């Protein structure tokens, strides 16, 4: 089991998101994005443009796309990814 210390609590890094404290899975998400190879990341300006388009989309729900089920910030950071909406917002 791969346990990680978080203050006085231990959590399994292979747990479901619902089993992790909220701050832990958000930290994992942003650590993952930060550590992606620059070769596959969208330019910062493009990433922000994508996020802004998603913020206005009716299919955004709690940081996730209701069409494909992905976390928007993870999908938008990869340069080759596209919006799954038929209108292709990005």
Note the pLDDT of residue 8: 54
Number of domain units in the chain: 2
The reply to whether 57 and 19 lie within a common domain is no
pLDDT, tens digit, 9 for 90 and up, residues 44-62: 999 999 999 999 999 999 8
Instruction: Give the burial class of 69: count Cβ atoms within 10 A of its Cβ; 0-12 exposed, 13-18 middle, 19 or more buried.
Output: exposed
pTM given for the model: 0.76
Q: How far apart are CA 90 and CA 12, in angstroms?
A: 35
More confident: 53 or 5? 53
The reply to whether 46 and 78 lie within a common domain is yes
Domain of 68?
41-90
The answer to whether 28 and 15 have CB atoms below 8 angstroms apart is no
Q: Which residues pair with 11 in a beta bridge?
A: 4
């Amino acid at each position: 089991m791969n346990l990680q210390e978080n203050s006085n609590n231990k959590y399994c890094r292979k747990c479901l998101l619902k089993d992790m404290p909220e701050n832990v899975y958000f930290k994992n998400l942003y650590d993952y994005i930060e550590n992606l190879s620059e070769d596959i990341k969208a330019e910062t300006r493009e990433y922000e443009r994508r996020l802004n388009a998603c913020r206005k989309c009716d299919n955004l729900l709690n940081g996730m796309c209701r069409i494909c089920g992905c976390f928007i910030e993870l999908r938008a950071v990869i340069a080759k990814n596209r919006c799954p909406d038929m209108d292709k917002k990005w």
